[in-house]
Amino acid sequence: MISFKDLKKAFLVALWFIFLTFPIMVIKVNPFERTIAWRWHNMFYVAAGSFILYLIGRLFLINKAAQQERMKKQGIKSVPKTDWQQRLLTEPRLFIPTLGIMLVILLVFPHVLSTYQVNIMITALMYIVLGLGLNIVVGVAGLLDLGYVAFYAVGAYSYALLHLHFGLGFWTVLPLGGMLAASFGILLGFPVLRLRGDYLAIVTLGFGEIIRLILENWNDFSHGPSGISNIPRPGFFGMEMTLDQSIMYLYYLMIGMVIFTIFVVNRLQNSRIGRAWFALREDEIACQAMGIDKTKTKLTAFALGAFWAGMVGVIFAAKTTFVNPASFTFLESAIILCIVVLGGMGSIIGVIIAALVLMLLPEYLRAFSDYRMLVFGGTLVVMMVFRPQGIISTVRRTYTLEKKPTIT
């Protein structure tokens, strides 16, 4: 049960949350009238909410520990449960109907809802592909990349500049943008081959900022902060399309892109290079001792992750018809990384769910836009405490040897 010590700690947690959220929740400045409104009732809500949530979480952990202690005393070994997501993936009777329902919903979606809703869904699908690309680098290979937005920017500016100077179209630049981003991924990979952990994160963060500053200050090359406009949308055999038709066409294009990405990433994870990535994530020294080429493995992870970011960058430029360096800040890298961490490191379905949640909920909860980042940070804290493995965790593949009966 809850002890006095837990109540005391809950009280301290409430005070700490009041201190953290005081400038956001209590103080409201009106710059036009030059007045300050003090919303003291919000302070009470924060205190009560954090106090109650801490006690609920503590009670959950106490009950879990007590259950494990009872099982230990009774000599019962904990058997790993098959999660619902694993059953969904491995049992055809569940997987096929679920996949069919999802495809029907996705195909009908643009015909039922407005163009604005379709535009939001396109953005969510783009972040699914970005999350799956970063999942190769961070979730599977275990290489913390905080400059992933740089490859996203390379793809977007590839389309903008190649169309501006050479008149190339969307379908021509789409693979070129991916390959250019992959080449930048290899260029980033070479200097960081010996780095890991925090040092790797700092170098990749610096790489992302270098790319953004170059695009912002090299006016002759990238038009600087003004950006590049009048980028054409994707075409379909030269047909003229209205704005609504272009958005719907881009929506179905992104669905195909997501399906293609899921197929390729899943095949990569189950391939020889995928197993090398997982080994690299678990123990780099043991991985090298087993004869795996560490250089090739790291560079492949960086290049393939950057390839998807480059292609999505091309689609982003075609969707917005305008690019400038302000669209490729560190916050974008942080959001994509949060999608991977919240979804589950190395989990494809988890990344998809996390991308949909993080992209769609802020749009549909605009009434709470003032507290969006507060809720976002609180969600991260709750996930790290109660489910550090993410929404859907990956399950290690195990192999068993069956003994054949000996014939006597």
Same-domain status, 54 and 170: no
Token pair recorded at residue 36: 């300050």
Lowest mean pLDDT among 131-135, 344-348, 389-393: 389-393
Of 228 and 29, the one with more pLDDT: 228
| Per-residue three-class SS string for 143-170 | CCCCCCHHHHHHHHHHHHHHHHHHCCCH
C-alpha span between 127 and 275 (Å, rounded): 25
- List the one residue out of 151, 150, 159, 156 whose CA is nearest residue 316: 156
90 pLDDT more than 80: no
> What pLDDT does 406 receive?
60
Q: Is residue 283 in some structural domain?
A: yes
Rounded average pLDDT over 338-364: 84
Q: Are 263 and 280 in contact (CB under 8 A)?
A: no
The count of domains in the chain is: 2
Same-domain status, 206 and 334: yes
Q: How many percent of the chain have pLDDT more than 70? A: 88
Q: Is residue 327 in some structural domain?
A: yes
> What pLDDT does 164 receive?
87
Same-domain status, 117 and 238: yes
Dihedral of alpha carbons 282, 286, 290, 293, sign = positive
252 pLDDT more than 60: yes
What angle, 0 to 180 degrees and rounded to 10, lies between the N-to-C axes of helices 170-189 and 198-217? 130
Rounded average pLDDT over 51-55: 84
Q: Is residue 33 in some structural domain?
A: yes
Lowest mean pLDDT among 171-175, 214-218, 382-386: 382-386
Q: Which of 73, 101, 121 is the last residue of a domain?
A: 73
C-alpha span between 66 and 68 (Å, rounded): 5
C-alpha span between 281 and 90 (Å, rounded): 25
Q: Is residue 80 in some structural domain?
A: no
Res. 159 pLDDT band, cuts 50 70 90 = very high
Token pair recorded at residue 133: 């690309």
Res. 371 pLDDT band, cuts 50 70 90 = low
Of 121 and 31, the one with more pLDDT: 121
Q: Which of 73, 99, 126 is the last residue of a domain?
A: 73
Same-domain status, 338 and 288: yes
Residue with tokens 């259950």: 67
Same-domain status, 177 and 253: yes
Q: Are 336 and 138 in contact (CB under 8 A)?
A: no
Res. 50 pLDDT band, cuts 50 70 90 = confident
Res. 79 pLDDT band, cuts 50 70 90 = very low
DSSP assigned state of 2: -
216 pLDDT more than 70: yes
Same-domain status, 131 and 69: no
> What pLDDT does 173 receive?
92
Rounded average pLDDT over 167-190: 89
Furthest-apart CA pair in the chain: how many Å?
Answer: 97
Q: Is residue 272 in some structural domain?
A: yes
List 229's β-bridge partners, or say none: 322
Q: Is residue 279 in some structural domain?
A: yes
> What pLDDT does 81 receive?
47
- List the one residue out of 382, 375, 381 whose CA is nearest residue 358: 375
Per the prediction, the chain carries an average pLDDT of: 82
Same-domain status, 118 and 51: no
> What pLDDT does 131 receive?
92
What angle, 0 to 180 degrees and rounded to 10, lies between the N-to-C axes of helices 272-282 and 243-269? 80
304 pLDDT more than 70: yes
The H or E element containing residue 36 is strand 35-38
> What pLDDT does 376 receive?
72
- List the one residue out of 391, 289, 351 whose CA is nearest residue 138: 351
Q: For residue 159, what are the CA distances in angstroms to 124, 164, 325, 403?
A: 21, 8, 14, 58
> What pLDDT does 88 receive?
58
Q: Is residue 403 in some structural domain?
A: no
> What pLDDT does 396 receive?
56
Same-domain status, 119 and 50: no
Domain range holding 48?
A: 4-73
Q: Is residue 105 in some structural domain?
A: no
Over residues 284-303, the pLDDT tens digits come to 788 878 888 888 888 898 89
CB burial string 300-335: b at 16+ within 10 A, e below:
bbbbbbbbbbbbbbbbbbbbeeebbbebbeeebbeb
116 pLDDT more than 80: yes
Same-domain status, 310 and 161: yes
Same-domain status, 366 and 232: yes
Same-domain status, 48 and 191: no
Same-domain status, 135 and 225: yes
